Structure 1
Amino acid sequence: MINATDIIPGDTFFGGKPIRIIVPTSSLESEKFKKCLDSVRRSQLPNNSILTAVVSSGPTFSFARSINYALAMVNDENVLLLNDDCYVEPTTIKNMVDSITSNDGVIGGLLRYSNGKIQHNGGLLYFNTLTIFFKDLTKGAPFNTIRSALEARRRGVKYVRAFHRTTTRPGSLDFVTGALFFIPNAAFRKIGLLDEDYVNGFEDADYCLRARKMGLAVRVEASASAVHEEHASLNSVKSHFFDNISVFGKKWKRSEVEALRD
């Protein structure tokens, strides 16, 4: 694992605490990373903001481990975790910074597909198989629930699914998506690093629940948007799904998650 760290040569700067923008990537030469970096460079940023690209790939790649490698470098900066297939609007980062309150733990953004359709606006965790079945039914994939629930039972793990909100209407959420994940420095000092027991899935939900357990807010900033080419990272998430829900189920009870929900 290597990293490339530099002060960001942006176009528009403003005062305030700098940001360390952490981007895990398989290659600094990939088109998606270059596109991500270009979107950051076109952004309004605090002075002396830093971009840390963590280069890691192969079968041993771990999102949490890559992020933690860079988080260990954080001093007094705020933190923005950004997927290399996520492209921010020019005002997204500034809008996140301007919205910070003393109670914020994690701030997410409104993620869209390239056609403008909403992809993620926060998410909820479901533990009831029947509820999950009907949610999959509305997506035209009810047999996915049956297969997954049976496999979870065979493995002896609690079945849990994360569903993303795809509307801008106000509503409850349990987590925001790790593809665009802003952590104020004060919150980072309290919550700490990502849990490396997860492998490319559920790290974001776990981190948000830890923030909530400490009394910190988890929310989406509606004025902060980005385009996310989600398909680029879905295969890894699917391949580790059952291992991740096993880790999650050992840490979090349904009653606790629902009690923390806003």
Structure 2
Amino acid sequence: MKRTSIIIPTFNGLHLLRQCLASIRQYTDVPYELIVVNNGSTDGTADYCRQEQIPFISLPSNTGFPAACNRGLRMASGDALLLLNNDVVVSANWLSNLLAGLYSADHIGIVGPIANYVSGKQQVAYPYADLAEFQRLAAEANRPDASKRKLAERIVGFCFLFRREVLDTIGLLDEHFSPGHYEDDDYCFRARMCGFSLMICGDALVHHEGSASFREHAAGRIEELIERNYRLFQNKWGVDPHIYI
């Protein structure tokens, strides 16, 4: 059976990482390996990973999301590769349904779930008051259903599953987009140019806290970063990425 490498970059988010890993262990029923990329954290993340015997890489400083993901990808041994934010909580059938979508046709290269907090077509309005209620709701929403899987032109990088063939064909994330924003749009664009299709799996609902790492930066700095990387994408490809949202 194919194995998935789950790569989780984290920066001073141990409380979120604990929650994320606990949900993976409880709700993942297919073979996987975990790789935590400790991006210069000072909150005990490395000690926690040692205690829990979780494979991890510790970087001396915060290199940003794309670079951290690339370090994890170089270490990964899985047939499928999953980039996962540390502020995601997964649920029943999440990975098995994503994999079913990914391997439903030879041309599918990248898939992603639906969530409460995400831009574009992956955003859904499932009301729940807490994570316990979310899990009860997701148990029903995540019944395997191929009719809920739709082709798309963009998958957001908070939970980003792709074939190793995609990595072998188009390479790693573009670190020019560090510390983050639009590196996922860039990767999707490159994949589509090489003939891979993208899919949103509507039968894989996850919880996303949303922008947890970037909240430590002032709002003005985040806006400047988003604008810079938006223009970087435009200058690189001569295309407005917003047409794919």
Please tell me the residue identity of whatever aligns with 1:109: P
Q: Which has the larger radius of gyration?
A: 1
State whether residues 113 and 201 of structure 2, in contact with CA within 8 Å, keep that contact through their aligned partners in structure 1. Answer: yes
Which of 140, 161, 180 is equivalent to 1:182?
A: 161
**More displaced, 177-186 or 51-60?**
51-60
Displacement of 1:187? 2.1
Please tell me the residue identity of whatever aligns with 1:56: N
State whether residues 149 and 199 of structure 2, in contact with CA within 8 Å, keep that contact through their aligned partners in structure 1. Answer: no
Please tell me the residue identity of whatever aligns with 2:235: K
1:41 aligns with 2:25: yes
Which of 173, 187, 192 is equivalent to 1:194?
A: 173
Give the match for residue 102 of structure 1: 106
State whether residues 121 and 166 of structure 1, in contact with CA within 8 Å, keep that contact through their aligned partners in structure 2. Answer: no
Which of 241, 244, 249 is equivalent to 2:226?
A: 241
Displacement of 1:254? 2.6
Question: Secondary structure of the residue that 1:254 maps to in structure 2?
Answer: coil
Displacement of 1:232? 1.2
Q: Runs of 5+ in structure 2 lacking a partner? A: 42-60, 127-147
Which of 210, 214, 221 is equivalent to 2:190?
A: 210
Question: Secondary structure of the residue that 1:120 maps to in structure 2?
Answer: coil
State whether residues 122 and 220 of structure 1, in contact with CA within 8 Å, keep that contact through their aligned partners in structure 2. Answer: no
Q: Distance in 2 between matches of 1:26 and 1:121?
A: 22
Q: Distance in 1 between matches of 2:242 and 2:120?
A: 15
Displacement of 1:246? 2.6
Q: Distance in 1 between matches of 2:169 and 2:156?
A: 20
Displacement of 1:120? 3.0
Displacement of 1:248? 0.7
1:223 aligns with 2:203: yes
Q: Distance in 2 between matches of 1:103 and 1:170?
A: 14
Displacement of 1:195? 0.3
Question: Secondary structure of the residue that 2:160 maps to in structure 1?
Answer: strand
Q: Distance in 2 between matches of 1:191 and 1:257?
A: 22
Give the match for residue 81 of structure 1: 83
| Cα RMSD after superposing both structures | 2.9
Displacement of 1:255? 7.6
Q: Distance in 1 between matches of 2:70 and 2:90?
A: 22
Question: Secondary structure of the residue that 2:109 maps to in structure 1?
Answer: strand
Which of 118, 121, 131 is equivalent to 1:120?
A: 118
- Number of residue pairs the alignment of both structures matches: 197
Identity in percent: 26
Please tell me the residue identity of whatever aligns with 1:32: L
Q: Distance in 1 between matches of 2:40 and 2:189?
A: 28
Q: TM-score under structure 1 normalisation?
A: 0.66
State whether residues 122 and 173 of structure 1, in contact with CA within 8 Å, keep that contact through their aligned partners in structure 2. Answer: no
1:55 aligns with 2:38: yes
Q: Distance in 2 between matches of 1:46 and 1:196?
A: 31
Question: Secondary structure of the residue that 1:45 maps to in structure 2?
Answer: coil
